[in-house]
Amino acid sequence: MPEPGSTQDPESICSPHAAAFHIPIPIDTSIPVQDPMPGVRYSIYENESGRTIVLEKGEIVEINLRWAPGVAWTWDVPVSGCSLELVNDGYYDTGTDFWNQSGHYRARYRSIRSGTSFIDGIFGVSPHGTAHSWNPRFNLIVIVK
């Protein structure tokens, strides 16, 4: 907590536990993940991995990653930092091909406080398994003003 009379924004304080990589819990599942969501500032795709974006408090970024409904593997997308909250996430199938390989994982994050968060996704690692160089990855740095 800031000292009495301090001008430090109490929202900018980040606990070490919250700053470490963690899998956030969705806070709003009222809009299905496959449907458009109002207020999205950035819609980032897998081929844009490695970007850095800047958001104002309250703005939303969504990430869209390829996924094949016919396989058992999923995306593991931990987040570090305290500047983002997960609005919703999930998988959906677009059903546009014969082999059922046209699905997506989408996650939407709202900026809630100043700071920097790092989204570090990896696809296809089994629980307690080992990541390999061939596992698809997605990384995004989000700076919140």
* 79, 118 contact by CB (below 8 A): yes
Region 28-57 average pLDDT: 94
What is the pTM (predicted TM-score) of this model?
0.81
Q: What is the dihedral of CA 21, 22, 28, 34, to 10 degrees?
A: 80
Query: pLDDT tens digits for 87-135?
Result: 999 998 876 665 656 789 999 999 999 999 999 999 987 767 788 888 8
Q: Cβ–Cβ contacts within 10 Å for residue 124, how many?
A: 16
pLDDT at residue 127 in the model:
65
Which domains are present in the chain?
Answer: 23-125+133-144 (2.60.40.2020)
HEC readout, 87-112:
EEEEEEECCCCCCCCCEEEEEEEEEC
